[in-house]
């Protein structure tokens, strides 16, 4: 590969772009990755401030845990490139103002015992829910990290069994209705709704009902976790892998245009005018709107396709993330939950539902913010200077503020962050100003403008909305569901494609399609050392 | 495509091992997923397998063909079903009171569920290969 020339150019060094690069390099292609930012990782990146490693976008890595990329260490990220995950026994805890708590452990029975303190009936239900969910996961997993089958193929297989039909039903429902059907105690419901709403969708959104049958069993079977060193450690390991295979990553290299000649992608033009040639393909780890409407250009696309790109929907809300540098880890008033490092502050079911109403109708700050609070430094000392701690607190918030629009965020971000902090203070004993050494606020606008302007539009950390009409073969839209695009030799990867939202490692599926198009068997690549 | 390759020994006479391996019905009894084998002629057979993938239950009908063989030394075969295809070779080497078998099988998913089938095959092929060896040894070693 010469300086401006490679078999494959990957636009965007988010974790999926790097994963695609890794597999293609392993297959023998030369790969050049171009990244707009001075750092790699996109939403899987950290900010280092005075020795504190702060996750400013993603922190909990859930959907990637069952990915064969990690389970079988297909790119040797763990064996050779330093990736190590912390998977805690206490997966998630929700303290309540009445002094009770809901805790989800890795172990199902331990969780059942905990739920029984709130409701004996819900404890039995939780056991059935988790067990059925584990079977769902077995059904769904093969489709998650491989190119998605057609919806018709999925439906025709699932409708042949009663359990399959139940799963189909769940896929069409809202996760709120699922939780209502299975559980009765408001505290149990609140935690589960809070967790599922990390899809950045409210509980009444149809087409989301299967999400808990993925997220909950993953916690029990694989465990949700975070890499040692922070969310960015995943991208760093991938970066080392790419470079070890001879790939090159160019940072500070924003792309202005995709070069299209005779209907095929032939390279890219950077914003500084430099042209980079791709002999075989271009892979874009980007949101389809900036990719097709700006970088490719409507002149190369059919009007019907352009209309479908323009109608891609974003999630219902985003979030404001405040990361804190602390003298000590937070101590919750509900002592039981101090065993963990990951908390959902839900107040009550009613408060959660009001929060959803507020953020969907673009009102901030909400009466009672319900942040997800994570303190990985309790389990990973590398996250902070000795004896200190870092804290991540994300609370749902709209991108487009009702009063003043997105530009108003710079005016109100401190006030909103303060209200989230107040919510945390109500539940803890030690989050006064004496414990706080500093904080970093990341608003939805910051996510879009600073972290990933061509990927996380409107600060949407899930890429694009993850309802049924934008999942599987329809993610992000019909005709892009299998990573190929209407432009020859141009592929799309990233959160905006299957399997979608969050840190899932879907680049593995994209790589399979690209390899197939070049007549290379994926299993032959896996067998290479 | 996913593959399985193994070398193992069976403490049994070559005659007994060979006649077992070239009998599709008896060979089929070494695979828990195989429900039935119908011999069509001396080189072809139809295998009926039931596989479970969570809530998905599939009945797979695969037609196998012996494409080449050298008696008591080697057999090469292929199998085709709507959902998957396979090819493989088994080599036998006789030793005192035992037979060394080396086999290699490649399998690949087909059709609209090919990526799922490939994933299923990848996850299970090593385990099923090991199960096959254990069952075969049990059946043939006295």
Going by pLDDT thresholds of 50, 70 and 90, the confidence category of residue B58 is: confident
Long-range contacts formed by B55-63: CB under 8 A, 24+ apart: B55/A135, B55/A136, B55/A139, B55/A158, B55/A161, B55/A163, B55/A164, B55/A167, B56/A139, B56/A157, B56/A158, B56/A160, B56/A161, B56/A164, B57/A160, B57/A161, B58/A157, B58/B83, B59/B35, B60/B84, B62/B86
Cβ neighbours of residue A331 under 8 Å, at least 6 residues apart?
A: A338, A428, A429, A430
3-state secondary structure of A322: strand
Condensed to tens digits (0 to 9), the pLDDT of residues A464-475 reads 999 989 998 899
What DSSP letter does each residue of chain B carry, written as one string? --EEEEEEEESS-HHHHHHHHT-HHHHHTT-TTEEEEEE-SSSEEEEEEEEEETTEEEEEEEEEEEEEEETTTEEEEEEE-SSEEEEEEEEEEEETTEEEEEEEEEEEE-STTHHHHHHHHHHHHHHHHHHHHHHHHHHH--
Nearest to A460 by CA among A410, A411, A502: A502
Cβ A150–B54 below 8 Å, yes or no? no
Pick the CATH number of A5-44+61-84+228-313+454-527 from 3.50.50.60, 3.30.360.10, 2.120.10.70, 3.30.429.10: 3.50.50.60
B142 close contact with A: CB closer than 8 A: no
Q: Which residues of B touch A138 (CB under 8 A)?
A: 53-54
| Residues listed for chain B | 142
N-term to C-term CA, chain B? 36
Cα–Cα distance measured from residue A256 to residue A259, given in angstroms and rounded to the nearest whole number: 10
> Exposed e or buried b for every residue in A267-280, given b needs 16+ CB within 10 A?
bbebeeeeebebeb
Domain ranges in chain A are 5-44+61-84+228-313+454-527
- Residue A343 in tokens: 């908390």
Contact A150 B112 (CB under 8 A): yes
Please give the pLDDT value at position A481. 87
Sign of the alpha-carbon dihedral angle for A23, A28, A34, A37: positive
The pair of structure tokens assigned to A235 is: 């991208």
A5, exposed or middle or buried, with CB in 10 Å at 0-12, 13-18, 19+?
A: middle
pLDDT of residue A2: 54
**Would you say residue A241 has pLDDT above 60?**
yes
Q: Which residue, chain included where needed, has tokens 């009672």? A: A368
Sign of CA dihedral A441, A447, A450, A451: positive
Count interface pairs A-B at CB distance under 8 A. 63
Mean pLDDT of the A386-394 span: 97
How far is CA A403 from each of CA A132, A200, A202, A447, rounded to the nearest angstrom? 44, 21, 21, 20
Q: What is the 3-state secondary structure (H, E, C) of A481-504?
A: CCCECCCECEEEECCCCCCCCCCC
Residue entry with tokens 């990233």: A494
| Secondary structure element (H or E) that encloses residue A439, with its range | strand A436-442
Spatial distance between the Cα atoms of B91 and A89, rounded to a whole number of angstroms: 48
Burial tier of A79 (Cβ tally within 10 Å: 0-12, 13-18, 19+): exposed
Distance (Å, rounded) from C-alpha A149 to C-alpha A472? 8
The winner for highest mean pLDDT among A133-137, A454-458, A487-491 is A487-491
- Model confidence at B1: pLDDT above 80: no
Q: Which of residues 58-117 of A touch B (CB under 8 A)?
A: 68
**Bridge pairing between strands A275-285 and A5-11:** parallel
Would you state the structure tokens that stand for residue A279, as one six-digit string? 């002999």
Distance CA A517, CA B29 (A): 38
pLDDT band with cut points at 50, 70 and 90 for residue A1 = low
Q: Are A513 and A483 in contact (CB under 8 A)?
A: yes
Across the interface, whether the CB atoms of B54 and A140 are under 8 A apart is answered yes
Nearest-Cα distance to chain B for A139, in Å, is 4
Q: Could you write out the DSSP letters of every residue in A361-422?
A: TT--S-SS---EEE-GGGT-GGGSSTT-EEEEEEEEE-SS-TTT-GGGHHHHHHHHHHHHHH
**pLDDT in the model for residue B52:** 85
Residue A501's pLDDT is: 84
Q: Please give the pLDDT value at position B56.
A: 86
Token pair belonging to A301: 């696309």
Convert the pLDDT of each residue in B116-141 to its tens digit: 888 888 888 888 899 999 999 999 99
Percent of chain B's residues with pLDDT above 70: 100
Q: Which of residues 85-124 of B touch A (CB under 8 A)?
A: 112-113, 115-116, 118-120, 122-123
| Chain A residues within an 8 Å CB radius of B125 | none
From chain B, the residues in CB contact with A152 under 8 A are: 112
Q: What is the pLDDT of residue A3?
A: 60
Q: Dihedral (C-alpha) A166, A66, A195, A153: value to the nearest 10 degrees?
A: -30
d(CA B105, CA B13): 24
Reply yes or no on whether the pLDDT at A518 is more than 60: yes
Instruction: Tell me which residue range forms the domain holding B93.
Output: 3-140
With left for phi above 0 and alpha for psi between -120 and 50, is residue B7 left, alpha or beta? beta
pLDDT in tens, A295-334: 999 999 999 999 999 999 999 999 999 999 999 999 999 9
Q: Which residue of B has its CA nearest to A158?
A: B56
Q: What is the DSSP string of A3-38?
A: TTEEEEEEE--BHHHHHHHHHHHHHT--EEEE-SSS
Q: Residue A201 and residue A174: Cα distance in Å, rounded?
A: 10
The answer to whether residue A242 scores a pLDDT higher than 60 is yes
Greater model confidence, A453 or A361? A361
A511: nearest Cα among A225, A127, A238:
A238
In this predicted structure, what is the pLDDT of residue A198?
93
Partner residues linked to A323 by β-bridges: A392, A440
**What is the pLDDT of chain B when averaged over all its residues?**
92
pLDDT per residue as tens digits for the range A393-408:
999 999 999 999 999 9
**Is B22 at the interface with chain A, CB within 8 A?**
no
**Residues whose CB falls within 8 Å of the CB of residue B108, separated by 6 or more in sequence, listed in order:** B1, B2, B84, B85, B86, B114, B117, B118, B121
Q: How many domains does chain B have?
A: 1
Residue A24 to chain B, least CA–CA distance (Å): 17
Distance, CA of A123 to CA of A113 (rounded, Å): 7
CATH number of the CATH domain containing B19: 3.30.530.20
Q: Which residues of A are less than 8 Å from B58 in CB distance? A: 157
Give A246-283 pLDDT, tens digit per residue. Answer: 999 999 999 999 999 999 999 999 999 999 999 999 99
Beta-carbon contacts of A254 under 8 Å, excluding residues fewer than 6 positions away, are A36, A270, A271
* pLDDT tens profile A202-215: 999 999 999 999 99
Q: What angle do CA A451, A453, A459 make, to 5 degrees?
A: 70
The reported pLDDT for the residue numbered A448 is 93
pLDDT at B142: 73
pLDDT bin (cut points 50, 70, 90) of residue B22 is very high
């Amino acid at each position: 590969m010469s300086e401006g020339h490679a078999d494959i150019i990957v636009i965007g060094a988010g974790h999926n772009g790097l994963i695609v690069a890794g597999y293609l390099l392993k297959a023998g292609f030369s790969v050049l990755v171009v990244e707009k930012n001075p750092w790699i990782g996109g939403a899987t990146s950290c900010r280092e401030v005075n020795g504190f490693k702060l996750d400013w976008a993603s922190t909990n890595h859930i959907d990637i845990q069952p990915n064969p990329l990690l389970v079988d260490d297909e790119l040797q990220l763990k064996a050779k490139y330093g990736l190590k995950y912390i998977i805690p026994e206490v997966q998630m805890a929700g303290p309540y103002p009445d002094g009770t708590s809901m805790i989800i452990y890795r172990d199902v029975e331990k969780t059942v015992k905990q739920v029984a303190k709130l409701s004996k009936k819900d404890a039995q239900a939780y056991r059935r829910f988790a067990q059925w969910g584990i079977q769902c996961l077995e059904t769904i997993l093969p489709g998650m990290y491989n190119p998605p089958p057609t919806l018709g193929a999925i439906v025709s297989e699932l409708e042949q069994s009663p359990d399959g039909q139940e799963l189909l039903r769940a896929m069409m429902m809202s996760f709120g209705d699922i939780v209502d059907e299975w559980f009765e105690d408001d505290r149990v419901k609140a935690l589960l709704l809070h967790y599922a709403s990390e899809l950045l969708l409210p509980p009444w959104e149809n087409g989301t009902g299967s999400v808990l049958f993925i997220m909950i069993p993953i916690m029990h079977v694989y465990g949700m976790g975070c890499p040692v060193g922070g969310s960015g450690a995943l991208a760093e390991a991938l970066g080392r892998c790419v470079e070890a295979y001879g790939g090159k990553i160019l940072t500070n290299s924003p792309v202005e245009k995709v070069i299209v000649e005779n209907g095929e992608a032939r390279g890219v033009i950077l914003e500084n005018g430099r042209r980079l040639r791709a002999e075989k393909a271009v892979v874009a780890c980007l949101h389809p709107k900036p990719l097709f409407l700006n970088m490719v250009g409507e002149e190369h696309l059919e009007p019907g396709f352009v209309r479908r790109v323009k109608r891609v929907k974003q999630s219902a809300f985003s979030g404001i993330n405040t990361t804190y540098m602390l003298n000590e880890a937070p101590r919750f008033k509900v002592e039981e939950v101090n065993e963990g490092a990951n908390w959902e502050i839900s107040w009550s079911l009613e408060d959660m539902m009001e929060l959803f109403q507020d953020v969907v109708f673009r009102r901030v700050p909400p009466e009672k913010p319900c942040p997800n609070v994570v303190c990985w430094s309790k389990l990973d000392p590398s996250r902070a200077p000795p004896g200190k701690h870092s804290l991540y607190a994300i609370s749902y918030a709209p991108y487009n503020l009702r009063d003043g629009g997105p530009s108003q965020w710079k005016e109100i971000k401190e006030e909103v962050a303060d209200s989230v902090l107040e919510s945390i203070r109500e539940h803890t004993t030690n989050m006064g100003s004496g414990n706080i050494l500093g904080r970093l606020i990341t608003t939805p606008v910051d996510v879009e403008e600073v972290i990933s302007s061509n990927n996380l539009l409107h600060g949407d950390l899930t890429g694009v909305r993850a309802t049924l009409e934008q999942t599987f073969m329809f993610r992000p839209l019909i005709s892009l569901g299998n990573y190929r695009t209407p432009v020859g030799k141009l592929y799309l990867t990233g959160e905006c494609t299957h399997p979608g939202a969050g840190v899932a490692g879907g680049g593995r599926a994209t790589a399979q399609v690209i390899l197939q198009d070049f007549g290379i068997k994926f299993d032959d690549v896996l067998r290479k050392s | 495509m996913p593959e399985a390759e193994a070398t193992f020994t069976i403490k049994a006479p070559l005659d007994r091992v060979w006649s077992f391996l070239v009998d599709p019905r008896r060979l089929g009894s070494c695979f828990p997923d195989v429900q039935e084998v119908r011999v069509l002629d001396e080189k072809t057979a139809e295998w009926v397998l039931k596989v479970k993938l969570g809530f998905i239950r599939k009945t797979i009908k695969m037609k196998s063909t012996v494409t080449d063989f050298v008696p008591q030394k080697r057999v090469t075969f292929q199998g085709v079903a709507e959902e998957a295809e396979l090819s493989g070779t088994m080599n036998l080497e006789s030793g005192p009171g035992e037979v060394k078998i080396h086999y290699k099988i490649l399998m690949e998913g087909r059709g609209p569920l090919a990526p799922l089938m490939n994933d299923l095959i990848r996850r299970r092929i090593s385990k099923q290969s090991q199960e096959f060896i254990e069952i075969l040894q049990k059946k043939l070693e006295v």
